[in-house]
Structure 1
Amino acid sequence: MSSAAKLRREEKNKNVVNQLQDFANDSIVFFNKCAKPDRNEYMKILQACAMGFIVIGFIGYIIKLVFIPINNIILGA
């Protein structure tokens, strides 16, 4: 193997190691900035999730309510 190829390989390895170190440092900074939500923020998230469940459930119920008679008419059951 030529010395130029060895230098390129070493440069690639250093580049990969530097990228991994940067990722690790960014991850540490991110986790240090994260905090548990307080009670008000938690309640807002909980309400938003509950509304999503209700809306999706209602839409599913309406679709089922509409398509059961249509399916029966088409199939002639």
Structure 2
Amino acid sequence: MKQFGFNLNEVLNYANFQPDYAAIVSADVPTSLLGNFNVSNAIDPFIFKNGVLTVNGQSGLNLFNSIVKNVVHAY
């Protein structure tokens, strides 16, 4: 499973509460393909006001990895 916030500042704020995460990356995904993944506004909604993208299962990870563009180490 991989999870991504839609807003980098929200993710950096979350990192203050979960310091055991080693890296934060920024990645571009075509919005037309977001329907293939779970988009939620209910995961830590006080931090992730813009929602969270969750990628589940090996087939989901394979699809995500094939469409992701412009991966940048953000923190």
TM-score band, normalised by the shorter chain?
under 0.3
TM-score, scaled to structure 2: 0.17
Query: Larger radius of gyration, structure 1 or 2?
Result: 1
Higher strand share: 2
TM-score, scaled to structure 1: 0.16
